[in-house]
Chains A and B, each alone.
Chain A
Amino acid sequence: ITSSTCLEVLQRLVVFNPDEISVSVKECVEGVIGGTDYNQSKVNQWTASIVEHSLTHLVKQGRPFKYIVNCTIMQKSGAGLHTANSCYWDTATDGSCTVRWENRTMYCVVSVFAVAVAL
């Protein structure tokens, strides 16, 4: 085992990995609203469910991070929507990832922010 392999392994453990998280979040969204139409009476449960499942997956990875997961579901009806994020943190260790998903009747945008915890 070389020192560069060691470094790579360590980095994978403590540095934020947006690709992995993106995949895991997409699965959560598909699992909750895949194949359904926008339903006003259910959308409350959907957003809560998506953020909880996503957070559970993240925490299970056991990495030294604090997480914030944000989910927005919007009905497709021609209205304009714009979102922006700004973060004041340590760019070497912290990161974020945004997943955009849509079907025929709604848009779903999930953002995950991970902030490193001092070990």
Chain B
Amino acid sequence: MLLEREITSWKRHKAGFVVEDVSTIIKESVEATIGGNAYQHNRVNQWTTSIVEQCLSQLSKLGKPFKYIITCVIMQKNGAGMQTASTCFWDNSTDGSCTVRWENKFVYCIVSVFGLAI
């Protein structure tokens, strides 16, 4: 049991970009910033800045040899349609991305983190 746990943890460390860890970091940062709030035009600027900065500082604390790009979109729930797509030209074996879609009663929030190995 102990050996299995050790092997899994070693594999995750070797893998570099670990999607679950990044996903957790993003979710915590969005919850802490927006929580149950409604869309407020004069505050949404601070929210997006706060979310990306918090994610970035948590990611750099992981101490991995990566460059990061984080994008955050907050949209008011109003019936409008929105579609977003990303494409990447990188090294498939070392680089990765993670996108989290979050919502509450009033807003949608989509955060994407791209990690590129140095």
Pair B53/A86 contact, Cβ less than 8 Å? yes
**Interchain residue pairs with CB less than 8 A apart (20):** A44-B83, A48-B87, A55-B87, A55-B89, A67-B88, A68-B114, A70-B84, A71-B86, A76-B80, A80-B44, A82-B45, A84-B72, A86-B55, A87-B67, A87-B69, A88-B56, A88-B60, A88-B66, A115-B67, A118-B118
Q: Closest CB of chain A to B79's CB: distance in Å?
A: 6
Indicate whether A59 sits within 8 Å of B89 (C-beta atoms), given known contacts A85-B71, A89-B69. yes
Instruction: Count residues on chain B whose CB falls below 8 Å from chain A CBs.
Output: 46
Indicate whether A66 sits within 8 Å of B71 (C-beta atoms), given known contacts A74-B81, A82-B48. no
Q: Give bound CA distance, A111 to B87, whole Å.
A: 11
Interface on A for B, CB 8 Å cutoff? 38, 40, 43-44, 46-48, 50-52, 55, 58-59, 66-90, 94, 96, 111, 113, 115, 118
Which residue in A59, A66, A82 is a CB contact (below 8 Å) of B73?
A82
Interface on B for A, CB 8 Å cutoff? 39, 41, 44-45, 47-49, 51-53, 55-56, 59-60, 66-91, 95, 97, 112, 114, 116, 118
Residues of B within 8 A of A80 (CB): 39, 41, 44, 75-76, 78
Indicate whether A77 sits within 8 Å of B71 (C-beta atoms), given known contacts A55-B87, A67-B89, A113-B114. no
Indicate whether A86 sits within 8 Å of B87 (C-beta atoms), given known contacts A68-B69, A72-B73, A73-B82. no
